[in-house]
Amino acid sequence: GIKCGGVLSGPHGNFSSPNFPGRYPYEIECTWLIVVAEGSSVLLSFSHFELEYHAACAYDYLQVYNGAARDQGNLLGTFCGRSPPPPFSSAWHVMAIIFRSDRHVAKRGFAAAYQKDACGGQLTGLSGEITSPRYPESYPNDAECRWSIGGGSGGGPLTLVFTDFQVEGGQGCGFDYVAVFDGPTTAAPSLGHYCGSARPPRTVSSAPHLLILFKSDFNIGGRGFKAHFYSAGECQEVFTAIKGNLSSPRYPNFYPNNLKCQWSIQLPPGYRVKVFFLDMELEGRSSLTGGCDYDHLAAFDGGTENGSLLGRWCGRGSLAPITSHSNQLLLVLHTDRNMAKRGFSIAYVGVVPMNVSCTRTDFHIQIPMQSLAQLERNRIYLGTPSCAAQLVGRNFRIHTRFDTCGTESQKRNNTSVVISTLYIDFSAGDQEDIHQYEVQCEPKRKEASVTLIAGPDPSRLSQAENLVDAQQQEGRATDTPEIKSQDTSDIFFISICILAGLLMVIAVVGLVLL
């Protein structure tokens, strides 16, 4: 019979656990939904907090959501015990609070207050946005706002980027200003003190906390500022290794909402980046447009979002691998305000650009030296180490006959082919790292192909991912000349035919003379 929870729609208000300041009842669940005007934000604070304690808050607990309740991507935190939650500032105009008690041990509960458009607060997400009060309209006089960023599960340094900035100027920024501190309080080292209309530089913390302080005096204002932040590590990484793995934040658990994460893969010149999708589950397509309008992952050729779009995905399912046209590839994850999912897991490998051709009797392989500049030629070989590459000009070259270098004949799809394995040994110290490519030739048509059969964690990838287009075409795009090999098998075959004809003529003439 206990009534609790409800919708709070005023510009400010208070609420508390049932019976507060007395003990709350057993076995209850209350949900408060705070909804203010569209475009506004909510600042939530607690004046009293006392719930049953458990290390994982498994008994009595209070949950705060940055938006609709029970969407794990919106969860700001779960709290119990006697330590009150920090002040929370929502990223939009909705905030939800859930309180639950079990059948044992009741305490005094909590008392909370909220206010629309109050500035400052605690921000714990992996990424987010902050603005001055009333932005983009002029901010109020005599304002003081403190945004404490960090304390979430990401744990990496924070990057702060200002996208708009107009604050009253003055010598020494003594009137209105924005100050940034490398830690949770103003006692931390200062990272900058800004005013005027020049945008502050990109700021990176040394620890997983930042404090942004905004102050205005009694007169003369401005448009204010808009800035976004993101956590390095889970949400912002640069990969330079030849192969690697990456995943969405918190994978395989639900990713947070309101994210923009970027993963940049940057390999040595000459390489291409091949991406394998090991697992994918994002929010599905829009029922209205059929497009990936909500949460989505996009891949761009090169290091920026200005590059060619290689793909844009949402929902769940198996995706074909993609290959970049340059040595850099950028992955960008956007998530909206609700409906979080498991996310994704990806592996990538640097694909060595090469030209592979064949005749009726030989393989010809050419690899630009710049792609494997750190390797000696004997670590690139076909079939066996005795068939190592030769260094010719600015290229590694292998020219070998079919009856050597571990080559064998097979029937595939009722077609006779000749195959061998190209090994590129990147091993260092005790860490073995050998990439294997299957090289195949159809002698009758003199057509060659190459296939990656061992790259990033082969046990997790399907075997024999076809790289013909990714390598043959890309190899021709490099500045190295193609091998111009002469098909000596055709010349040899024609010579035998001519010789046989001459012998037949001589035999006929001899019979006539006899």
Residue 473 predicted with pLDDT over 50 = no
Residue 199 predicted with pLDDT over 70 = yes
Residue 240 predicted with pLDDT over 80 = yes
Residue 95 predicted with pLDDT over 50 = yes
Residue 152 predicted with pLDDT over 90 = no
- Cα Rg for the chain, rounded, in angstroms? 33
Residue 241 predicted with pLDDT over 80 = yes
Mean pLDDT across 380-403: 92
pLDDT at 77: 87
Lowest mean pLDDT of 217-226, 375-384, 424-433, 488-497, name the range: 488-497
Residue 247 predicted with pLDDT over 60 = yes
Higher pLDDT residue, 505 or 251? Answer: 251
- Gap between the Cα atoms of 447 and 461, Å rounded: 26
Percent of the chain predicted with pLDDT > 90: 45
pLDDT at 268: 82
pLDDT at 417: 92
User: Which band of pLDDT confidence, cut at 50, 70 and 90, is reported for residue 351?
Assistant: confident
Please check whether residue 99 is in contact with residue 29, taking contact to mean a CB–CB distance below 8 angstroms: yes
pLDDT digits (tens, 9 = 90+) for 110-144: 999 998 877 787 777 667 778 888 888 899 888 88
- Gap between the Cα atoms of 208 and 410, Å rounded: 58
User: Which band of pLDDT confidence, cut at 50, 70 and 90, is reported for residue 101?
Assistant: very high
pLDDT at 448: 92
Strands 29-35 and 6-8, how do they pair? Answer: parallel
Maximum average pLDDT range among 265-269, 337-341, 503-507: 265-269
pLDDT digits (tens, 9 = 90+) for 294-327: 999 999 999 899 999 999 999 998 899 999 988 9
Mean pLDDT across 442-453: 87
**Identity (one letter) of the amino acid at 422?**
L
Residue 484 predicted with pLDDT over 70 = no
Mean pLDDT across 363-376: 85
Q: What's the pTM value of the predicted model, to 2 decimals?
A: 0.61
- Gap between the Cα atoms of 415 and 131, Å rounded: 66
DSSP state of 460: G
Helix, strand, coil % (nearest 5) of the chain? Answer: 10, 45, 45
SS3 116: strand
Percent of the chain predicted with pLDDT > 70: 86
pLDDT digits (tens, 9 = 90+) for 14-44: 999 999 999 999 999 999 999 987 767 788 9
Token couple for 217: 């005096």
- Going along the chain from its start, the domains and CATH numbers come out as 6-117 (2.60.120.290), 122-231 (2.60.120.290), 236-351 (2.60.120.290), 355-467 (2.60.40.3210)
User: Which band of pLDDT confidence, cut at 50, 70 and 90, is reported for residue 461?
Assistant: very low
pLDDT at 273: 92
pLDDT at 131: 85
Which residue in 261, 306, 239 sits closest to 159, CA to CA?
A: 261
Average pLDDT, the chain: 84
Residue 236 predicted with pLDDT over 50 = yes
Residue 401 predicted with pLDDT over 60 = yes
pLDDT at 125: 67
- Gap between the Cα atoms of 410 and 118, Å rounded: 74
- Gap between the Cα atoms of 128 and 73, Å rounded: 13
User: Which band of pLDDT confidence, cut at 50, 70 and 90, is reported for residue 345?
Assistant: very high
Q: What ranges make up the beta strands (E) of 302-368?
A: 309-313, 322-323, 328-334, 343-351, 355-358, 362-368
SS3 502: helix
Edge-to-edge strands, sheet with 177-181 = 12-16, 109-116, 42-50, 88-89, 121-123, 144-150, 209-215, 177-181, 190-194
Mean pLDDT across 424-452: 87
Phi-psi region of 207 (alpha: psi -120 to 50; beta: other; left: phi over 0): beta
Number of CB atoms found within 10 A of residue 340's CB: 25
- Virtual CA dihedral for 311, 316, 319, 322, nearest 10 degrees? 30
Which DSSP string corresponds to 172-213?
A: GG-SSEEEEESSSSTTSPEEEEE-BSSPPPPEE-SSSEEEEE
Lowest mean pLDDT of 77-91, 341-355, 447-461, name the range: 447-461
pLDDT at 110: 96
